[in-house]
Structure 1
Amino acid sequence: MPELPEVETIARGLAPQVEGRTITAVHVFNASTVHGTRALLTHKTAGCTVRRVHRRGKLLLMDMAAAEEGSPGPTHIAFHLKMTGRLFVYPQNTPPAAHTRLIFDLSDGRRLFFDDARKFGYCRALAQADFKEWDFWQTLGPEPLETGQQAFVERLRHRRTRIKAALLDQTVIAGIGNIYADESLFRARIRPDAPCNSIPEKQLRTLHGVMQAVLQQAIRECGSSIRDYRDAHGDAGAFQNNFLVYGRSGEPCRECGIPLFTSKVAGRTTVFCGVCQR
Protein backbone atom coordinates (compact mmCIF):
# COMPACT_ATOMS: atom_id res chain seq x y z
CA MET A 1 0.00 0.00 0.00
CA PRO A 2 1.40 3.43 -0.88
CA GLU A 3 2.48 5.22 2.29
CA LEU A 4 3.21 8.87 3.01
CA PRO A 5 6.25 9.26 0.68
CA GLU A 6 4.52 7.55 -2.24
CA VAL A 7 1.30 9.58 -1.92
CA GLU A 8 3.32 12.78 -1.49
CA THR A 9 5.26 11.95 -4.65
CA ILE A 10 2.07 11.27 -6.60
CA ALA A 11 0.52 14.53 -5.37
CA ARG A 12 3.56 16.55 -6.40
CA GLY A 13 3.64 14.92 -9.84
CA LEU A 14 -0.09 15.27 -10.41
CA ALA A 15 -0.37 18.90 -9.30
CA PRO A 16 1.11 20.60 -12.39
CA GLN A 17 -0.96 18.34 -14.64
CA VAL A 18 -4.38 19.08 -13.15
CA GLU A 19 -4.26 22.25 -11.07
CA GLY A 20 -6.17 25.04 -12.77
CA ARG A 21 -8.08 22.59 -14.98
CA THR A 22 -11.83 22.28 -14.84
CA ILE A 23 -13.47 18.85 -14.67
CA THR A 24 -15.94 18.62 -17.55
CA ALA A 25 -17.30 15.11 -16.90
CA VAL A 26 -16.94 12.14 -14.54
CA HIS A 27 -17.26 8.54 -15.73
CA VAL A 28 -17.75 5.72 -13.22
CA PHE A 29 -16.84 2.17 -14.29
CA ASN A 30 -17.00 0.53 -10.85
CA ALA A 31 -19.70 1.73 -8.46
CA SER A 32 -17.98 0.43 -5.32
CA THR A 33 -15.02 2.74 -5.98
CA VAL A 34 -17.22 5.72 -5.11
CA HIS A 35 -17.71 6.27 -1.38
CA GLY A 36 -19.91 8.82 0.33
CA THR A 37 -22.59 10.71 -1.62
CA ARG A 38 -22.25 9.35 -5.14
CA ALA A 39 -24.33 12.10 -6.77
CA LEU A 40 -21.92 14.73 -5.46
CA LEU A 41 -19.16 13.14 -7.53
CA THR A 42 -21.12 12.05 -10.58
CA HIS A 43 -23.51 14.99 -11.02
CA LYS A 44 -22.02 17.97 -9.16
CA THR A 45 -18.31 17.76 -9.96
CA ALA A 46 -18.53 18.77 -13.62
CA GLY A 47 -17.77 22.48 -13.84
CA CYS A 48 -15.56 22.52 -10.74
CA THR A 49 -11.91 23.47 -11.04
CA VAL A 50 -8.97 21.77 -9.34
CA ARG A 51 -7.35 24.43 -7.16
CA ARG A 52 -4.74 22.35 -5.37
CA VAL A 53 -3.47 18.76 -5.13
CA HIS A 54 -1.94 17.68 -1.83
CA ARG A 55 -1.78 14.89 0.76
CA ARG A 56 -3.12 14.13 4.25
CA GLY A 57 -1.82 10.90 5.75
CA LYS A 58 -2.20 8.32 2.95
CA LEU A 59 -5.00 10.27 1.30
CA LEU A 60 -4.53 12.26 -1.90
CA LEU A 61 -6.74 15.36 -1.93
CA MET A 62 -7.87 17.66 -4.70
CA ASP A 63 -9.25 20.97 -3.45
CA MET A 64 -12.03 22.13 -5.75
CA ALA A 65 -13.45 25.52 -6.69
CA ALA A 66 -17.07 25.75 -7.83
CA ALA A 67 -17.96 27.31 -11.17
CA GLU A 68 -20.19 29.81 -9.38
CA GLU A 69 -20.44 31.19 -5.86
CA GLY A 70 -22.69 28.97 -3.75
CA SER A 71 -22.66 26.07 -6.20
CA PRO A 72 -23.52 22.69 -4.58
CA GLY A 73 -20.44 21.01 -6.05
CA PRO A 74 -17.77 19.34 -3.90
CA THR A 75 -15.10 21.37 -2.16
CA HIS A 76 -12.71 18.40 -2.12
CA ILE A 77 -12.18 15.05 -3.84
CA ALA A 78 -10.25 12.45 -1.84
CA PHE A 79 -8.56 9.32 -3.13
CA HIS A 80 -7.33 6.43 -1.01
CA LEU A 81 -5.12 4.30 -3.25
CA LYS A 82 -5.05 1.30 -0.89
CA MET A 83 -2.95 -1.50 -2.44
CA THR A 84 -3.07 -0.95 -6.21
CA GLY A 85 -4.71 2.42 -6.90
CA ARG A 86 -3.03 4.64 -9.48
CA LEU A 87 -3.71 8.14 -10.79
CA PHE A 88 -2.48 9.08 -14.27
CA VAL A 89 -3.26 11.81 -16.76
CA TYR A 90 -3.71 10.54 -20.32
CA PRO A 91 -4.21 12.26 -23.69
CA GLN A 92 -7.60 13.17 -25.07
CA ASN A 93 -9.85 10.26 -26.11
CA THR A 94 -7.77 7.62 -24.28
CA PRO A 95 -10.22 4.74 -23.67
CA PRO A 96 -10.61 3.04 -20.29
CA ALA A 97 -8.40 0.02 -19.64
CA ALA A 98 -9.26 -3.24 -17.88
CA HIS A 99 -8.63 -1.81 -14.40
CA THR A 100 -9.95 1.73 -14.93
CA ARG A 101 -12.51 2.58 -12.23
CA LEU A 102 -13.01 6.32 -12.78
CA ILE A 103 -12.19 8.88 -15.46
CA PHE A 104 -12.29 12.65 -14.99
CA ASP A 105 -12.37 14.59 -18.25
CA LEU A 106 -10.38 17.84 -18.01
CA SER A 107 -10.90 21.17 -19.72
CA ASP A 108 -7.61 20.91 -21.63
CA GLY A 109 -8.86 17.72 -23.31
CA ARG A 110 -6.84 15.26 -21.26
CA ARG A 111 -8.26 12.64 -18.91
CA LEU A 112 -7.42 11.78 -15.29
CA PHE A 113 -7.71 8.02 -14.73
CA PHE A 114 -8.11 6.23 -11.43
CA ASP A 115 -7.02 2.64 -12.08
CA ASP A 116 -7.16 -0.03 -9.39
CA ALA A 117 -6.56 -3.72 -10.12
CA ARG A 118 -7.67 -4.96 -6.69
CA LYS A 119 -10.65 -2.59 -6.33
CA PHE A 120 -9.76 -1.75 -2.70
CA GLY A 121 -9.10 1.93 -3.38
CA TYR A 122 -11.82 4.54 -3.36
CA CYS A 123 -12.76 8.08 -4.30
CA ARG A 124 -14.92 10.34 -2.17
CA ALA A 125 -16.35 13.74 -3.10
CA LEU A 126 -16.90 15.99 -0.11
CA ALA A 127 -18.61 19.25 0.65
CA GLN A 128 -16.93 21.13 3.50
CA ALA A 129 -19.55 19.96 6.01
CA ASP A 130 -18.99 16.31 5.06
CA PHE A 131 -15.61 16.19 6.80
CA LYS A 132 -17.40 16.34 10.16
CA GLU A 133 -19.34 13.18 9.25
CA TRP A 134 -16.36 11.25 7.88
CA ASP A 135 -15.06 9.20 10.81
CA PHE A 136 -11.82 8.25 9.05
CA TRP A 137 -10.91 11.91 8.57
CA GLN A 138 -11.94 12.94 12.08
CA THR A 139 -9.75 10.29 13.71
CA LEU A 140 -6.59 10.82 11.63
CA GLY A 141 -3.56 11.48 13.78
CA PRO A 142 -1.05 14.28 13.21
CA GLU A 143 1.35 14.41 10.29
CA PRO A 144 4.73 12.87 11.20
CA LEU A 145 6.72 15.54 9.35
CA GLU A 146 4.79 18.30 11.12
CA THR A 147 4.89 16.84 14.64
CA GLY A 148 7.48 18.18 17.05
CA GLN A 149 9.71 15.87 19.04
CA GLN A 150 8.03 16.34 22.41
CA ALA A 151 4.52 16.02 20.98
CA PHE A 152 5.61 12.77 19.31
CA VAL A 153 7.03 11.41 22.57
CA GLU A 154 3.86 12.32 24.46
CA ARG A 155 1.68 10.47 21.96
CA LEU A 156 3.63 7.26 22.54
CA ARG A 157 5.28 7.06 25.93
CA HIS A 158 2.26 6.01 28.02
CA ARG A 159 0.83 3.50 25.57
CA ARG A 160 0.98 -0.20 26.36
CA THR A 161 0.67 -1.29 22.73
CA ARG A 162 3.72 -2.42 20.82
CA ILE A 163 5.65 0.38 19.18
CA LYS A 164 5.21 -0.83 15.60
CA ALA A 165 1.47 -1.24 16.14
CA ALA A 166 1.34 2.35 17.40
CA LEU A 167 3.22 3.65 14.34
CA LEU A 168 0.85 1.79 12.02
CA ASP A 169 -2.22 3.15 13.83
CA GLN A 170 -3.42 6.05 11.69
CA THR A 171 -5.19 7.58 14.69
CA VAL A 172 -1.83 7.88 16.49
CA ILE A 173 0.15 9.29 13.59
CA ALA A 174 -0.95 9.50 9.96
CA GLY A 175 0.82 8.16 6.89
CA ILE A 176 3.23 5.50 8.17
CA GLY A 177 2.85 1.90 7.02
CA ASN A 178 4.85 -1.31 7.14
CA ILE A 179 7.86 -0.15 5.15
CA TYR A 180 8.66 3.04 7.01
CA ALA A 181 7.80 1.62 10.43
CA ASP A 182 10.34 -1.21 9.98
CA GLU A 183 13.01 1.08 8.53
CA SER A 184 12.58 3.75 11.21
CA LEU A 185 12.61 1.29 14.10
CA PHE A 186 15.79 -0.35 12.84
CA ARG A 187 17.57 2.98 12.55
CA ALA A 188 16.40 3.91 16.06
CA ARG A 189 17.56 0.51 17.42
CA ILE A 190 14.12 -0.28 18.85
CA ARG A 191 12.50 -3.71 18.74
CA PRO A 192 9.19 -3.49 16.85
CA ASP A 193 7.42 -5.57 19.51
CA ALA A 194 8.57 -3.45 22.46
CA PRO A 195 5.67 -1.88 24.40
CA CYS A 196 5.69 1.88 23.94
CA ASN A 197 5.75 2.51 27.69
CA SER A 198 8.90 0.38 28.05
CA ILE A 199 10.97 2.47 25.65
CA PRO A 200 13.15 5.19 27.23
CA GLU A 201 12.16 8.70 26.23
CA LYS A 202 15.64 9.24 24.79
CA GLN A 203 15.01 6.43 22.31
CA LEU A 204 11.59 7.80 21.42
CA ARG A 205 13.23 11.13 20.67
CA THR A 206 15.74 9.31 18.49
CA LEU A 207 12.89 7.53 16.73
CA HIS A 208 11.23 10.86 15.97
CA GLY A 209 14.38 12.14 14.27
CA VAL A 210 15.13 9.03 12.22
CA MET A 211 11.47 8.63 11.23
CA GLN A 212 11.43 12.13 9.78
CA ALA A 213 14.78 11.54 8.06
CA VAL A 214 13.59 8.27 6.52
CA LEU A 215 10.37 9.84 5.25
CA GLN A 216 12.18 12.86 3.82
CA GLN A 217 14.75 10.67 2.07
CA ALA A 218 12.00 8.47 0.65
CA ILE A 219 10.18 11.54 -0.70
CA ARG A 220 13.41 12.74 -2.34
CA GLU A 221 13.75 9.31 -3.97
CA CYS A 222 10.09 9.29 -5.09
CA GLY A 223 9.02 6.54 -2.70
CA SER A 224 9.50 2.78 -2.75
CA SER A 225 8.40 0.52 -5.59
CA ILE A 226 7.82 -3.05 -4.49
CA ARG A 227 5.14 -4.33 -6.90
CA ASP A 228 2.51 -1.91 -8.15
CA TYR A 229 3.49 1.60 -7.09
CA ARG A 230 4.29 4.14 -9.80
CA ASP A 231 4.26 7.91 -9.51
CA ALA A 232 2.00 10.24 -11.50
CA HIS A 233 4.35 9.99 -14.50
CA GLY A 234 4.45 6.18 -14.42
CA ASP A 235 7.97 6.03 -12.95
CA ALA A 236 9.10 3.71 -10.16
CA GLY A 237 10.50 5.00 -6.88
CA ALA A 238 14.06 4.30 -5.72
CA PHE A 239 14.00 4.16 -1.92
CA GLN A 240 13.72 0.35 -2.00
CA ASN A 241 17.42 0.37 -2.93
CA ASN A 242 18.12 1.69 0.58
CA PHE A 243 16.09 -0.78 2.63
CA LEU A 244 18.03 -1.97 5.66
CA VAL A 245 15.44 -4.46 6.92
CA TYR A 246 12.12 -4.33 5.05
CA GLY A 247 11.79 -7.31 2.71
CA ARG A 248 15.20 -8.68 3.73
CA SER A 249 14.13 -11.52 6.03
CA GLY A 250 16.95 -14.05 6.53
CA GLU A 251 19.54 -11.83 4.88
CA PRO A 252 22.54 -10.54 6.87
CA CYS A 253 21.98 -7.40 8.91
CA ARG A 254 23.90 -4.57 7.24
CA GLU A 255 25.20 -3.49 10.66
CA CYS A 256 26.14 -6.69 12.51
CA GLY A 257 25.92 -9.43 9.89
CA ILE A 258 23.53 -11.86 11.62
CA PRO A 259 20.44 -13.03 9.70
CA LEU A 260 17.44 -10.75 10.09
CA PHE A 261 14.42 -12.12 11.96
CA THR A 262 10.79 -12.14 10.85
CA SER A 263 7.75 -11.98 13.11
CA LYS A 264 4.18 -10.70 13.07
CA VAL A 265 3.36 -7.41 14.77
CA ALA A 266 -0.13 -5.96 14.48
CA GLY A 267 -0.82 -8.64 11.89
CA ARG A 268 1.95 -7.39 9.61
CA THR A 269 5.13 -9.19 8.56
CA THR A 270 7.93 -7.48 10.45
CA VAL A 271 11.66 -7.75 9.81
CA PHE A 272 14.19 -6.72 12.43
CA CYS A 273 17.66 -7.47 13.83
CA GLY A 274 17.73 -9.39 17.11
CA VAL A 275 21.14 -7.91 17.95
CA CYS A 276 20.90 -4.28 16.83
CA GLN A 277 17.31 -3.86 18.02
CA ARG A 278 17.49 -5.19 21.57
Structure 2
Amino acid sequence: MPELPEVEVIARGLHRSLVGRTMEEACHVDLTRLSDPAASLLPRILGLRIEGVRRRAKVLLMDLSDGTVLAFHLKMTGRVVHGPMREPDSHDRLFLRLDNGTLLSFSDVRKFGYVRAFSPQELQEWQFLQKVGPEPLDTDAKSLAHRIKGRKARIKALLLDQTVVAGIGNIYADESLFRAGIHPETRANRISLARAVRLFTELQAVLGQAIAENGSSIRDYVNADGDAGAFQNSFNVYGKKGSACGVCGSRLEAVCVAGRTSTFCPECQPKRGPKHQPQPSAKDGCRKKGYRP
Protein backbone atom coordinates (compact mmCIF):
# COMPACT_ATOMS: atom_id res chain seq x y z
CA MET A 1 0.00 0.00 0.00
CA PRO A 2 1.36 3.47 -0.80
CA GLU A 3 2.19 5.26 2.43
CA LEU A 4 2.61 8.94 3.24
CA PRO A 5 5.79 9.55 1.18
CA GLU A 6 4.39 7.88 -1.94
CA VAL A 7 1.09 9.77 -1.78
CA GLU A 8 2.96 13.03 -1.06
CA VAL A 9 5.20 12.50 -4.09
CA ILE A 10 2.14 11.83 -6.27
CA ALA A 11 0.34 14.90 -4.91
CA ARG A 12 3.32 17.18 -5.58
CA GLY A 13 3.75 15.82 -9.10
CA LEU A 14 0.07 16.19 -9.94
CA HIS A 15 0.00 19.69 -8.48
CA ARG A 16 2.86 20.75 -10.75
CA SER A 17 1.26 19.43 -13.92
CA LEU A 18 -2.50 19.78 -13.33
CA VAL A 19 -3.13 23.21 -11.84
CA GLY A 20 -5.17 25.24 -14.34
CA ARG A 21 -6.26 22.22 -16.37
CA THR A 22 -9.96 21.50 -16.92
CA MET A 23 -11.48 18.01 -16.85
CA GLU A 24 -13.50 17.92 -20.04
CA GLU A 25 -14.58 14.32 -20.63
CA ALA A 26 -14.69 10.91 -18.98
CA CYS A 27 -13.60 8.66 -21.82
CA HIS A 28 -13.38 5.42 -19.82
CA VAL A 29 -15.32 4.52 -16.67
CA ASP A 30 -15.09 1.25 -14.70
CA LEU A 31 -15.28 2.49 -11.14
CA THR A 32 -14.47 0.40 -8.07
CA ARG A 33 -17.16 -0.68 -5.63
CA LEU A 34 -16.38 1.94 -2.97
CA SER A 35 -16.23 4.82 -5.45
CA ASP A 36 -19.10 7.23 -5.98
CA PRO A 37 -21.38 5.96 -8.79
CA ALA A 38 -20.48 7.43 -12.17
CA ALA A 39 -23.96 8.96 -12.49
CA SER A 40 -23.35 11.13 -9.43
CA LEU A 41 -19.55 11.56 -9.64
CA LEU A 42 -19.07 12.75 -13.21
CA PRO A 43 -21.61 15.62 -13.22
CA ARG A 44 -19.89 17.01 -10.12
CA ILE A 45 -16.41 17.20 -11.67
CA LEU A 46 -16.61 17.51 -15.47
CA GLY A 47 -16.07 21.01 -16.79
CA LEU A 48 -14.27 22.12 -13.62
CA ARG A 49 -10.74 23.49 -13.39
CA ILE A 50 -8.16 21.90 -11.11
CA GLU A 51 -6.95 24.48 -8.58
CA GLY A 52 -4.55 22.32 -6.58
CA VAL A 53 -3.61 18.82 -5.43
CA ARG A 54 -2.69 17.97 -1.85
CA ARG A 55 -2.52 15.05 0.56
CA ARG A 56 -4.14 14.24 3.89
CA ALA A 57 -2.92 10.99 5.48
CA LYS A 58 -2.82 8.51 2.56
CA VAL A 59 -5.54 10.27 0.54
CA LEU A 60 -5.04 12.46 -2.55
CA LEU A 61 -7.26 15.55 -2.51
CA MET A 62 -7.84 17.52 -5.71
CA ASP A 63 -9.36 20.98 -5.22
CA LEU A 64 -11.69 22.03 -8.05
CA SER A 65 -12.82 25.47 -9.17
CA ASP A 66 -16.31 25.37 -7.61
CA GLY A 67 -15.03 24.18 -4.20
CA THR A 68 -15.61 20.47 -4.87
CA VAL A 69 -12.82 18.19 -3.67
CA LEU A 70 -12.06 15.04 -5.67
CA ALA A 71 -10.56 12.39 -3.37
CA PHE A 72 -8.54 9.35 -4.45
CA HIS A 73 -7.73 6.65 -1.89
CA LEU A 74 -5.15 4.37 -3.48
CA LYS A 75 -5.37 1.57 -0.90
CA MET A 76 -3.10 -1.34 -1.97
CA THR A 77 -2.63 -1.02 -5.72
CA GLY A 78 -4.17 2.27 -6.83
CA ARG A 79 -2.38 4.65 -9.20
CA VAL A 80 -3.19 8.18 -10.31
CA VAL A 81 -1.08 9.22 -13.30
CA HIS A 82 -1.08 12.26 -15.60
CA GLY A 83 0.28 11.60 -19.08
CA PRO A 84 -0.51 11.28 -22.78
CA MET A 85 -3.75 9.73 -23.98
CA ARG A 86 -3.69 5.94 -24.36
CA GLU A 87 -6.03 3.00 -24.65
CA PRO A 88 -7.46 1.67 -21.37
CA ASP A 89 -6.50 -1.74 -20.02
CA SER A 90 -8.29 -4.11 -17.66
CA HIS A 91 -6.98 -2.32 -14.52
CA ASP A 92 -8.05 1.20 -15.50
CA ARG A 93 -11.00 2.57 -13.51
CA LEU A 94 -11.33 6.17 -14.73
CA PHE A 95 -9.95 8.16 -17.67
CA LEU A 96 -10.43 11.94 -17.58
CA ARG A 97 -9.46 13.86 -20.72
CA LEU A 98 -8.12 17.30 -19.90
CA ASP A 99 -8.44 20.50 -21.93
CA ASN A 100 -4.91 20.18 -23.32
CA GLY A 101 -5.56 16.65 -24.63
CA THR A 102 -3.67 14.86 -21.85
CA LEU A 103 -5.03 12.08 -19.66
CA LEU A 104 -5.61 11.86 -15.92
CA SER A 105 -6.04 8.17 -15.13
CA PHE A 106 -6.98 6.20 -12.04
CA SER A 107 -6.16 2.49 -12.14
CA ASP A 108 -6.41 -0.21 -9.48
CA VAL A 109 -5.55 -3.89 -9.90
CA ARG A 110 -7.10 -5.10 -6.64
CA LYS A 111 -10.14 -2.75 -6.77
CA PHE A 112 -9.82 -1.74 -3.11
CA GLY A 113 -9.14 1.92 -3.92
CA TYR A 114 -11.77 4.46 -4.73
CA VAL A 115 -12.58 7.95 -6.03
CA ARG A 116 -15.20 10.21 -4.44
CA ALA A 117 -16.32 13.83 -4.74
CA PHE A 118 -17.06 16.02 -1.71
CA SER A 119 -18.33 19.50 -1.07
CA PRO A 120 -16.21 21.36 1.53
CA GLN A 121 -18.84 20.56 4.17
CA GLU A 122 -19.03 16.90 3.16
CA LEU A 123 -15.23 16.64 3.34
CA GLN A 124 -15.24 18.15 6.81
CA GLU A 125 -17.84 15.60 7.90
CA TRP A 126 -16.15 12.60 6.24
CA GLN A 127 -15.64 10.20 9.14
CA PHE A 128 -12.52 8.69 7.60
CA LEU A 129 -10.64 11.98 7.82
CA GLN A 130 -12.25 12.99 11.11
CA LYS A 131 -10.59 10.01 12.79
CA VAL A 132 -7.13 10.51 11.30
CA GLY A 133 -4.36 11.69 13.63
CA PRO A 134 -1.93 14.57 13.09
CA GLU A 135 0.41 14.80 10.14
CA PRO A 136 3.87 13.64 11.25
CA LEU A 137 5.70 16.20 9.11
CA ASP A 138 3.56 19.10 10.36
CA THR A 139 3.77 18.22 14.06
CA ASP A 140 6.81 18.48 16.33
CA ALA A 141 8.32 15.24 17.56
CA LYS A 142 7.62 15.98 21.23
CA SER A 143 3.90 16.46 20.57
CA LEU A 144 3.81 13.16 18.69
CA ALA A 145 5.69 11.46 21.54
CA HIS A 146 3.06 12.61 24.02
CA ARG A 147 0.37 10.87 21.94
CA ILE A 148 1.81 7.45 22.86
CA LYS A 149 2.81 8.31 26.43
CA GLY A 150 1.57 5.76 28.98
CA ARG A 151 -0.16 3.53 26.43
CA LYS A 152 0.12 -0.24 26.88
CA ALA A 153 -0.05 -1.15 23.19
CA ARG A 154 3.06 -2.28 21.33
CA ILE A 155 4.85 0.60 19.67
CA LYS A 156 4.67 -0.85 16.14
CA ALA A 157 0.89 -1.18 16.44
CA LEU A 158 0.62 2.44 17.57
CA LEU A 159 2.69 3.68 14.64
CA LEU A 160 0.32 1.85 12.28
CA ASP A 161 -2.76 3.24 14.03
CA GLN A 162 -3.97 6.07 11.79
CA THR A 163 -5.75 7.73 14.72
CA VAL A 164 -2.39 8.15 16.50
CA VAL A 165 -0.40 9.55 13.58
CA ALA A 166 -1.42 9.89 9.94
CA GLY A 167 -0.03 8.10 6.92
CA ILE A 168 2.40 5.60 8.45
CA GLY A 169 2.45 2.02 7.20
CA ASN A 170 4.69 -0.99 7.56
CA ILE A 171 7.72 0.31 5.67
CA TYR A 172 8.26 3.55 7.54
CA ALA A 173 7.30 2.11 10.91
CA ASP A 174 9.98 -0.59 10.59
CA GLU A 175 12.62 1.81 9.29
CA SER A 176 12.05 4.46 11.97
CA LEU A 177 12.02 1.87 14.78
CA PHE A 178 15.35 0.55 13.54
CA ARG A 179 16.92 4.00 13.42
CA ALA A 180 15.63 4.73 16.92
CA GLY A 181 16.87 1.37 18.28
CA ILE A 182 13.43 0.30 19.53
CA HIS A 183 12.08 -3.26 19.30
CA PRO A 184 8.69 -3.32 17.50
CA GLU A 185 7.05 -5.29 20.34
CA THR A 186 8.06 -2.79 23.04
CA ARG A 187 5.08 -1.49 25.01
CA ALA A 188 4.75 2.28 24.62
CA ASN A 189 4.53 2.77 28.39
CA ARG A 190 8.02 1.25 28.66
CA ILE A 191 9.51 3.89 26.36
CA SER A 192 10.83 7.06 27.99
CA LEU A 193 9.73 10.42 26.66
CA ALA A 194 13.26 11.09 25.39
CA ARG A 195 13.33 7.81 23.42
CA ALA A 196 9.83 8.48 22.06
CA VAL A 197 10.93 11.93 20.90
CA ARG A 198 13.90 10.32 19.18
CA LEU A 199 11.59 7.79 17.53
CA PHE A 200 9.40 10.48 16.01
CA THR A 201 12.44 12.54 15.05
CA GLU A 202 13.76 9.50 13.16
CA LEU A 203 10.32 8.92 11.65
CA GLN A 204 10.29 12.46 10.31
CA ALA A 205 13.80 11.98 8.89
CA VAL A 206 12.81 8.69 7.22
CA LEU A 207 9.71 10.26 5.67
CA GLY A 208 11.69 13.25 4.44
CA GLN A 209 14.34 11.03 2.87
CA ALA A 210 11.71 8.82 1.23
CA ILE A 211 9.94 11.83 -0.29
CA ALA A 212 13.29 13.14 -1.59
CA GLU A 213 13.94 9.72 -3.16
CA ASN A 214 10.52 9.59 -4.85
CA GLY A 215 9.02 7.03 -2.46
CA SER A 216 9.42 3.25 -2.30
CA SER A 217 8.46 0.99 -5.20
CA ILE A 218 7.81 -2.55 -3.96
CA ARG A 219 5.16 -3.71 -6.43
CA ASP A 220 2.67 -1.28 -7.94
CA TYR A 221 3.67 2.20 -6.80
CA VAL A 222 4.60 4.79 -9.40
CA ASN A 223 4.56 8.57 -9.11
CA ALA A 224 2.31 11.00 -11.01
CA ASP A 225 4.46 10.62 -14.13
CA GLY A 226 4.43 6.81 -13.98
CA ASP A 227 8.01 6.53 -12.66
CA ALA A 228 9.15 4.22 -9.83
CA GLY A 229 10.60 5.39 -6.52
CA ALA A 230 14.09 4.70 -5.18
CA PHE A 231 13.86 4.65 -1.36
CA GLN A 232 13.61 0.83 -1.38
CA ASN A 233 17.36 0.91 -2.10
CA SER A 234 17.86 2.55 1.31
CA PHE A 235 15.90 0.03 3.40
CA ASN A 236 17.72 -1.07 6.53
CA VAL A 237 15.28 -3.75 7.69
CA TYR A 238 11.94 -3.74 5.86
CA GLY A 239 11.48 -7.00 3.93
CA LYS A 240 15.02 -8.14 4.76
CA LYS A 241 14.47 -10.92 7.30
CA GLY A 242 17.46 -13.27 7.28
CA SER A 243 19.84 -10.67 5.85
CA ALA A 244 22.77 -9.25 7.79
CA CYS A 245 22.20 -5.98 9.63
CA GLY A 246 24.14 -3.23 7.90
CA VAL A 247 25.21 -1.80 11.27
CA CYS A 248 26.22 -4.77 13.42
CA GLY A 249 26.08 -7.77 11.05
CA SER A 250 23.49 -9.67 13.09
CA ARG A 251 20.86 -11.71 11.28
CA LEU A 252 17.64 -9.70 10.91
CA GLU A 253 14.53 -11.29 12.41
CA ALA A 254 10.77 -10.75 12.05
CA VAL A 255 7.74 -10.95 14.32
CA CYS A 256 4.07 -10.33 13.63
CA VAL A 257 2.71 -7.17 15.27
CA ALA A 258 -0.86 -5.99 14.61
CA GLY A 259 -1.11 -8.57 11.84
CA ARG A 260 1.91 -7.20 9.99
CA THR A 261 5.43 -8.48 9.48
CA SER A 262 7.84 -6.45 11.60
CA THR A 263 11.48 -6.87 10.69
CA PHE A 264 14.14 -5.79 13.16
CA CYS A 265 17.72 -6.33 14.30
CA PRO A 266 17.86 -8.22 17.62
CA GLU A 267 21.19 -6.57 18.45
CA CYS A 268 20.37 -2.96 17.51
CA GLN A 269 16.76 -3.23 18.73
CA PRO A 270 16.78 -5.45 21.83
CA LYS A 271 13.61 -5.54 23.92
CA ARG A 272 15.43 -4.13 26.94
CA GLY A 273 16.82 -1.09 25.16
CA PRO A 274 19.49 -0.38 22.51
CA LYS A 275 23.08 -1.50 23.00
CA HIS A 276 24.16 1.06 20.40
CA GLN A 277 22.38 3.44 18.07
CA PRO A 278 21.90 2.19 14.51
CA GLN A 279 22.39 4.48 11.54
CA PRO A 280 20.91 4.13 8.01
CA SER A 281 22.32 1.54 5.60
CA ALA A 282 20.68 -0.41 2.73
CA LYS A 283 19.63 -3.31 0.51
CA ASP A 284 17.39 -6.19 -0.43
CA GLY A 285 14.57 -8.32 0.98
CA CYS A 286 12.52 -11.38 1.81
CA ARG A 287 9.08 -11.90 3.37
CA LYS A 288 7.72 -14.37 5.90
CA LYS A 289 4.97 -16.49 4.38
CA GLY A 290 1.54 -15.74 5.74
CA TYR A 291 2.32 -12.19 6.95
CA ARG A 292 1.10 -9.11 5.12
CA PRO A 293 3.98 -6.81 4.14
User: Which of the five TM-score ranges fits, normalised by the shorter chain?
Assistant: over 0.9
Distance 1:119 1:267 in 2: 21
Q: Deviations over 1:67-126 (max 9, x none)?
A: xxxxxxx6101111111111112324x221221101112111212110111111111110
Deviation at 1:16, TM superposition (A): 2.2
- Alignment correspondent of 2:281: none
- Alignment correspondent of 2:2: 2
Does the 8 Å CA contact 1:33/1:122 hold for their aligned counterparts? yes
- Alignment correspondent of 1:87: 80
| Structural mapping, 1:93-172, within 5 Å | 94-172=86-164
Q: Tell me the secondary structure at the aligned position of residue 43 of structure 1.
A: helix
Does the 8 Å CA contact 1:63/1:77 hold for their aligned counterparts? yes
**Match of residue 78, structure 1, among 64, 71, 96:** 71
Distance verdict in 2 for CA 1:132–1:234, change over 3 Å: closer
Deviation at 1:34, TM superposition (A): 5.1
Q: Deviations over 1:230-256 (max 9, x none)?
A: 111121111111111001101111111
Distance 2:31 2:16 in 1: 28
Q: Tell me the secondary structure at the aligned position of residue 210 of structure 2.
A: helix
The one-letter amino acid paired with 2:69 is H
Distance 1:215 1:171 in 2: 18
**Match of residue 247, structure 2, among 246, 255, 273:** 255
| Structural mapping, 1:206-225, within 5 Å | 206-225=198-217
- Alignment correspondent of 1:19: 19
Does the 8 Å CA contact 2:32/2:93 hold for their aligned counterparts? no
Distance 1:149 1:103 in 2: 40
If the length of structure 1 is used for normalisation, what is the TM-score?
0.93
The one-letter amino acid paired with 2:157 is A
Distance 1:120 1:136 in 2: 15
Matched residues, number: 270
Q: Tell me the secondary structure at the aligned position of residue 45 of structure 2.
A: coil
- Alignment correspondent of 2:42: 42
Deviation at 1:33, TM superposition (A): 4.8
Distance 1:38 1:130 in 2: 18
1:173 aligns with 2:165: yes
The one-letter amino acid paired with 1:170 is Q
Q: Deviations over 1:142-173 (max 9, x none)?
A: 00001112211110112111111111111110
Distance 1:78 1:55 in 2: 9
The one-letter amino acid paired with 2:237 is V
The one-letter amino acid paired with 1:11 is A
Distance verdict in 2 for CA 1:171–1:199, change over 3 Å: same
Give the % identical residues. 51
- Alignment correspondent of 1:234: 226
Q: Tell me the secondary structure at the aligned position of residue 254 of structure 1.
A: coil
Structure 1 window deviating more from structure 2 (200-209 vs 181-190): it is 200-209
Does the 8 Å CA contact 2:34/2:113 hold for their aligned counterparts? no
The one-letter amino acid paired with 1:91 is P
Distance 1:238 1:198 in 2: 35
Does the 8 Å CA contact 2:77/2:220 hold for their aligned counterparts? yes
- Alignment correspondent of 1:70: none
Distance 1:199 1:90 in 2: 47
